[in-house]
Each structure stands twice: as C-alpha cells, then as structure tokens.
C-alpha cells in the first residue's frame, strides 16, 4: 500500500490523522510508514518537512525503496497517529520554491537562459542558469519582471495532466517522469513539471531579491532569497549598515566614501609609522655600536629582545652589521624564540655553521649562509643558554 500524499492537493494542510502501516529500523532510529501524510520528503531541490507524529519529533522525511519514511527517535506507542507539520519551515520552502519558478521563468523570457539546477539551503537558495554573462542591469531587469509577477498576484496551480494536454503546453523544461506528470502553472506565465509544494498565488512569495552571482561550470550560479527570508536578510543588512553609520558618523549613502577615506588615512599612518620605526631602529643600532667594546678586532653584540617583531630585529641586524668588524647575535623572545645571527662583510666567520651548532638547544629550525642565518625554536626557556653557547664558540675561536 502506497502512502497517500496529502501535500500534493493541499500544501497548506498541517494537521492530519493517519494510521501506521509499517515501522522500519533506520540506523539507531525508526522509519514510520503511514497510510497518508502531509509531510513532504526531501526531493526536487526542496528539503523535507519536520514536525510531530503524536509526541515523537519527526527529524527527517525520506523516500526509500518506494516507501515514504518519517524518521523518529522512538517507536510510536499507538498505530493511530496525529501528525503536525512545522508550518514556518514548510511555508518558507513554499515561498522559496515558488519564487524559483518565477525567477527561472524570467531568466528564460529575458535572457533565454535555462535552469540547470536548483538548491534550497538553510539560508540561501541557488539556481544555475545556462548563460555566459550577466550584468547589474540584467539583475535589475530580471528582478523587476519577477517582482511584477508577484504584484500581479497570479494563481499558482498544480495538477496532473494527460499526455495530450502535456504536448499542447509551453513547458519550460521536460518532465523527468513518464506517468502522472504534475505540472505547476503560474497562470499563463510559466508551466513546469514539479512535485514540490508551492503557494496558492504569486503574491504570497512577497519579494524576490537576487543577492549575488558567480561563474559556474555550466553558466552562472545565482543566490537569491524570497519572502520572509528576504525580510530577515534586509533586517540583518539594515542592522549592519546602522552600526557602520554610527561608528563612522556617516549617512548610509556616505559609508563607502567614509571607509575609503579611513583606508587612505590608515595607509598614510602605516607609512609614517614605518618611517619612524626605521629611524628608531637606526638610533638603537648607533647606541648599541657605541656601547659595545671591540675585543681582538671584533665587536660582538648579543641581545635578547622582548616582544619585538622579527622584521624589526632583522632591520636592527642590518644596521649593526653595516659597521665593519661587527657580529650581531639577536633573539626575539615572544611565544617562541626567533633568532638572527649576522656579521659585517669583513668578518671571517661562518654564521650558518655557528647557528646550526647551537640550534638544537632551543629545538630550533632554520639556516642561511655564511653572512647571515635565521630561524626559530620552541624552547624559549633555554634562549639564554643558546646565546651564551654561541658567544662562547665565537670567543674560543
Ligand atoms: Zn516546484
């Protein structure tokens, strides 16, 4: 016995009585088969309904081996069932699904673009249209046409048609099934084979808004929202814009200009800061050189610096080693240890070999060439030992 699908004739039906025909196991859950149901199973791009059978929550509705399964956590205690469908979820799907028919019809009429696929996600609905290009002007034309169809409040009629009638209808796409072909007609505007649930009149779709588009394999993929989703979306955007207006002390029409100015100012500030930092590091290098004595023709500088960026320390090493006879062993102590060993051109010493010799002390990685070597290690606690060992190796030579 097949389940009678009440949603086909009345998608507005949310409460119904039915009898359990069969209870199947479904993983660690149960699949309830009823003699009749108002629950729509997943299919045709539309997700399943949720709701209740008696007190058991229906978490999923699927078709398996020709049977329509209502998935519940526990077996039902009675074969007599009162079913109730989550109307907010269902009506949302009806708005999005009918909106998709209208939008697909507009793409067909205005741009000769056929709809290759349709997906209804939790937040966004998408369709793939077989066209090569699309502009903002096109978006405006498509949206105007689609929303005019909504304002005209045209009837939406779903019915099974005979083969003969089918041939006489200007179908937007060919049916996938060969019998009991159900046509959804947006009155004298669009004829499309479909098994989903739709609203009674186009006015109930409320609004259609294209959100964005991107190239895809077969054409262009569009994200759009209809009805209550569009209202929620508008609410979210409005909240964001209002928050930005307040932060930027700007009107909504001036936000982009205000952000541009902010970015321009930020770049200038960054440039100035960078120049000042360079100057400070140059002074730091001069002072360090002055303070450090020359022993056996070598000025050996060894410093552990707290919370400095590695780029600053690199620059400091560059300034220091411009002065002849200098060897700079510099470390930054942050979450990890970062280390640079560098020397002036005239000093005859292999910094890479020295670096590699002491690197295991801080469980480090890295390397370089005979003039400069750089790397990092996790053992911040052994940084002093690391630096002392490197210094001693230089002095012993
Ligand atoms: Zn449909």
Q: Domains in the chain, start-ordered, CATH in brackets?
A: 4-85 (2.40.30.130), 91-242 (3.30.980.10), 274-396 (3.10.310.40)
Q: 329 C-alpha to center of ligand 1: Å?
A: 72
Q: 193 C-alpha to center of ligand 1: Å?
A: 7
Bridge partners (DSSP) of residue 303 are 330
Other Cβ atoms closer than 10 A to 96 = 27
Q: 107 C-alpha to center of ligand 1: Å?
A: 16
- 1 pLDDT above the threshold of 80: no
> What SS3 state is found at 1?
coil
pTM of the model: 0.77
Between residues 18 and 65, the one the model is more confident about: 18
Sheet holding 115-120, edge to edge: 115-120, 125-129, 219-226, 208-216
**What are the tens digits of pLDDT across the range 36-50?**
999 999 988 899 999
Q: 293 C-alpha to center of ligand 1: Å?
A: 85
Near ion ligand 1, which residues have CB within 5 Å?
Answer: 97, 194, 196
CA-nearest of 19, 7, 11 to 82 is 19
**What are the tens digits of pLDDT across the range 61-109?**
999 998 999 999 999 999 999 999 999 999 999 999 999 999 999 999 9
């Amino acid at each position: 016995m097949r389940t009678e699908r009440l949603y086909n004739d009345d998608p507005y039906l949310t409460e119904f009585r039915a009898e359990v025909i069969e209870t199947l196991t479904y993983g660690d859950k149960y699949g309830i088969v009823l003699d009749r149901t108002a629950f729509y199973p997943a299919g045709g791009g539309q997700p399943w309904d949720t709701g209740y059978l008696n007190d058991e929550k229906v978490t999923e509705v699927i078709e398996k081996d020709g049977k329509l399964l209502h998935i519940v956590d526990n077996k039902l205690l009675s074969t007599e069932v009162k079913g109730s469908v989550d109307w907010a979820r269902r009506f949302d799907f009806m708005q999005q699904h009918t909106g998709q028919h209208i939008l697909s019809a507009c793409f067909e009429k205005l741009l000769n673009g056929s709809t290759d696929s349709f997906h209804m996600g939790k937040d966004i609905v998408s369709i793939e249209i077989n066209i090569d290009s699309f502009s903002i002007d096109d978006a405006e034309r498509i949206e105007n046409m689609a929303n005019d169809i909504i304002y005209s409040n045209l009837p939406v009629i779903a019915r099974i048609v005979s083969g003969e009638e089918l041939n006489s209808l200007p179908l937007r796409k060919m049916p996938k099934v060969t019998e009991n072909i159900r046509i959804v007609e947006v009155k004298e505007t669009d004829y499309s084979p479909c098994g989903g649930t739709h609203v009674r009149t186009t006015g109930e779709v409320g609004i259609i808004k294209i959100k964005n588009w991107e190239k895809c394999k077969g054409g262009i993929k569009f994200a759009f929202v209809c009805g209550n989703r569009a209202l929620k979306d508008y609410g979210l955007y409005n909240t964001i814009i209002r928050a930005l207006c307040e932060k930027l002390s700007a009107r909504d029409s001036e936000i982009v200009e205000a952000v541009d100015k902010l970015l321009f100012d930020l770049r200038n500030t960054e440039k100035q800061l960078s120049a000042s930092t360079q100057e400070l590091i140059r002074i730091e290098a001069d002072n360090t050189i002055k303070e450090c004595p020359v022993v056996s023709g070598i000025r050996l500088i060894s410093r552990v610096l707290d919370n400095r960026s590695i780029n600053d320390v690199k620059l400091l090493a560059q300034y220091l080693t411009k002065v002849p006879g200098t060897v700079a062993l510099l470390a930054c102590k942050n979450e990890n240890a970062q280390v640079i060993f560098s020397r002036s051109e005239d000093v005859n010493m292999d910094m890479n070999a020295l670096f590699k010799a002491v690197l295991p002390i801080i469980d480090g990685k890295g390397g370089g060439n005979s003039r400069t070597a750089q790397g990092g290690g996790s053992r911040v606690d052994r940084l002093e030992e690391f630096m002392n060992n490197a210094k001693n190796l230089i002095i012993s030579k």
